Amino acid sequence: MLNKYARGFFGKLFTPLARVLIRMGVSPDAVTIIGTLGVCVGALVFYPMGELFWGTVFITAFVFSDMVDGLMARMLERSSRWGNFLDSTLDRLADGAVFAGVAIWFFTGGENPAIAVFALVCLLLGSLVSYARAKAESLGCTAAVGFAERSERLVAVLVFTGFTGLGLPEVVLLVVLVLLAAASLLTVIQRIMTVYRQTRLAA
């Protein structure tokens, strides 16, 4: 849903930055890698220290690299299977780092195992959401259904983790993670059923 309504807005917002990076000789792959490293540092250094707000600010500064590298590739007419593979693979790494960072803090200094457990559940189900679509496409099917896609998952966890760092009651973050886990599970089921119907029709 966010992909549909926000991509056009953010595409226009980051187009000037993409042009500047191209003039500087920076490659789209370099932006992808640097952005992923930034997200991982924010999630696995700041979050485990309990710096939930500043960790979120740091992560947000890098998370939009996922859009900038795509803009750069299109401007340079370099869209390729390699770039797509690298981008998708590192997206999984970044997402995993965010949820893992939340889990580490709440298993340790945060002393809230419920939040930590549901952060890990969201990590697992989020991976299944992405895998289900990728596997479906590798089989010649489509599974772009469901509303718990990467953008929604990332925005939800970053926003509410950041606000928790500013004093929002932890129970709010817990509720958000529970709802996110439920939405991710529903999305996985939707994608399984979608592929099942397509394969049955093909047979």
The residues that are catalytic are 91
**H-assigned helices in 25-149:** 28-41, 52-63, 65-76, 81-107, 113-138
CA angle, residues 191, 122, 129, in degrees to nearest 5? 20
Longest dimension (CA), the chain: 55
Q: For residue 40, count other CB atoms closer than 10 A to its CB.
A: 20
Mapping DSSP onto H, E and C, the string for 115-183 reads HHHHHHHHHHHHHHHHHHHHHHHHCCCCCCCCCCCHHHHHHHHHHHHHHHHCCCCHHHHHHHHHHHHHH
Nearest to 145 by CA among 188, 116, 180: 188
Residue 170 phi, psi dihedral angles, 5° rounding: -60, -25
